[in-house]
Amino acid sequence: MSKKVVVGYGSCGIAAGAKEIHDILDDELKKLNNGFKLDITSCMGMCYREPMVEIIDDDKSYVYGDVNKRVVKQLIDKHIKGGEIFKDKLVISSDVKTDDETFLSQQTRLVLKNCGKINPERIGDYLAQGGYESTKRVLTSMKPEEIRELVLKSNLRGRGGAGFPTGMKWNFAAANEAEPKYFICNADEGDPGAFMDRSVLEGDPHAVLEGMIIGSFAIGAAHGYIYCRAEYPLAIKRLNIAIEQAKEKGFLGKNILGSGHDFDITIKEGAGAFVCGEETALIASIEGYRGMPKMRPPFPANSGLWEAPTIINNVETLASVSKVIQMGPEEYAKMGHERSGGTKVFAVTGKVKRSGLVEVPMGITLKKLIFDIAGGILDDKEFKAVQLGGPTGGCLPYDLLDTPVDYESLMQTGAVVGSGGLVVADHSTCMVDMARFFLGFAQNESCGKCTPCRIGTKRMLEILNAISEGRGVEEHLDELKDIGAKVKQASLCALGGTAPNPVLTTIRYFEDEYIAHIKDKKCPAGVCRELITIMIDDSCTGCEICKKECPQDAISGERKKLHKIDEEKCIQCKICLGSCPFDSIYAE
């Protein structure tokens, strides 16, 4: 009989307090000594319910969410000691229906299949789930060209954003007879609000290693690199553990499984530059140079790392490779869209009820993803927009939520699939401010090598600042469109080539907000400081909380009487809005 208590120990869980929960459980279970063993797993994708604890008793599973110090003591007393289910915090159960289970039941989990289910620091757990079976099959019974053809037939496209067919890319490198060849995993995930790759590396690192081993055999590479940003310490720790375990089991090193294929992996920690997610900039960084893009051609498959043929695939792409081998290319391709096989993982954040990781078949609509799986808009407010594809993606309105999630369909709207970041906004979001935020990120992360990106994004940001501060004129809209088009066409790499997307799509779909900022000198969402006035309405009870919280002493009034705001002193910091318990303060 299996008795286990498993703590979700991914970065999101630890940030929410999982370490303290783990330590409490460790102490209590040692005292009880009743057969329950403590274990860890990673994030299962339900980040909105972290910290999470699973109790496995007699092969029945009960997953609890929002576990704090008080709750964990109740779990110990009620469930572990008394065998009673604590329904108030129950998220998923093998024998009790819950509201949260729809979050997982509507997904198709291939890449995330093991995340939240296995201990990522134990290779035995991965092997028990069929891990490395694809490697054994490939290395002992298949030829490199057969593998490449299989991956090509599967319609597996690069999940890092470009969507290039993986099998075709492998064919380019294999056709090059130069030696040596290199295989690189791009784990330099730097999009604001994106954490797909980090979660896979933390939760199922062997799946990524297995994809690299299979890919290296398919192209004839003997050495590989995982380029992972240093801000992911837990992912790097678990990758190092996985590499050592794979070596001990004979899946890495010399003459793997007696196949004659040699392959080793080195981890390269990146310093956090967003531009190093671009292939040629990443290669420069590994070589010890400043991470800046190069002109292409030649492409890395022909001349990459140290001018040798090099394949670069991102984390999610590589984690999909073993699934393609297991399922077969036809079954994998059938699961997705006609032009894009398989599934895609999205990091859903912003104003949704269920934020976290969602894995769905390619071709699903945005509406189903946001309203069915992610549960709709937080506090049942009105949906306004979804920003899709990372900081250089596009912002789409409600009318386009029936758009299928595939590379070509989204490109027609001005957005991109990108790496999978998905930020949902309600009507409290200012679209001008949102465009300014994402463009500011891209401008700050520009390497500065090419003039269109370096100067163009700076000029566009200056115009957005002017509009947000009430200095905008109608000519600014045409200027933003003109500069944006030139930056897209003339930039050296994809950072500049997609940086204008948030601006161009918000002008395209939310032009009325720009007009309100420019003509009426008003921010309809009440966000842009210089264009709003903070007001107190007649429902004010005179509780004086806002008066005490105001850093400018701009609020006056006697206790239990209507308060007023001195507009000359007010700096529109909106601290008072958050402090008022009666919603008597508003911005207009």
pLDDT-derived band at 448, boundaries 50, 70, 90: very high
Fold topology of 123-335: Rossmann fold (3.40.50)
- Neighbour tally for 412: CB within 10 Å: 9
Q: What is the pLDDT of residue 193?
A: 82
How far apart, in whole angstroms, are the C-alpha atoms of residue 30 and residue 78?
A: 17
Q: What is the pLDDT of residue 83?
A: 86
**Closest-CA residue to 190 (of 502, 446, 484):** 446
pLDDT at 1 over 70: no
Task: Go through 86-110 and write b for each residue having 16 or more CB atoms within 10 A of its CB, e for each that does not.
Answer: beebbbbbeeeeeebeebbeebbbb
How far apart, in whole angstroms, are the C-alpha atoms of residue 227 and residue 283?
A: 9
Select 3-105's CATH number: 3.60.20.10, 2.30.110.10, 3.40.30.10, 3.30.420.240: 3.40.30.10
DSSP secondary structure string for all residues of 207-261: HHHHHHHHHHHHHT-SEEEEEEETT-HHHHHHHHHHHHHHHHTTSSBSSGGGSS-
Task: For residue range 384-401, list pLDDT tens digits in order.
Answer: 999 988 888 899 999 999
**Domain parsing of the chain, residue ranges:** 3-105, 123-335, 343-426, 431-520, 533-587
How far apart, in whole angstroms, are the C-alpha atoms of residue 309 and residue 181?
A: 5
Q: Is residue 201 classed as helix, strand or coil in its secondary structure?
A: helix
Q: What is the pLDDT of residue 88?
A: 87
Structure tokens at 119: 């201990």
Domain 533-587 CATH class label: alpha beta
pLDDT-derived band at 190, boundaries 50, 70, 90: confident
Handedness of CA 330, 336, 341, 345 (dihedral sign): negative
Domain 431-520 CATH class label: mainly alpha
CATH for 343-426?
3.10.20.600
How far apart, in whole angstroms, are the C-alpha atoms of residue 468 and residue 440?
A: 13
Q: What is the pLDDT of residue 59?
A: 80
Q: What is the pLDDT of residue 545?
A: 94
The angle at the Cα of 223, spanning 235 to 258, to the nearest 5 degrees, equals 105
DSSP secondary structure string for all residues of 17-70: THHHHHHHHHHHHHHH-SS-EEEEE---S-GGG-S-EEEEETTEEEEE-S--HH
DSSP secondary structure string for all residues of 298-356: SPTTTS-GGGS-EEEEEHHHHHHHHHHHHH-HHHHHHHSBTTB-SEEEEEEEESBSS-E
Q: What is the pLDDT of residue 414?
A: 84
How far apart, in whole angstroms, are the C-alpha atoms of residue 448 and residue 492?
A: 10
pLDDT-derived band at 82, boundaries 50, 70, 90: confident
pLDDT at 65 over 70: yes
Structure tokens at 60: 């029945």
Q: Is residue 72 classed as helix, strand or coil in its secondary structure?
A: helix
The chain-wide mean pLDDT, for the chain, equals 94
Contacts of residue 280, Cβ cutoff 8 Å, sequence gap at least 6: 293, 294, 296, 300, 493
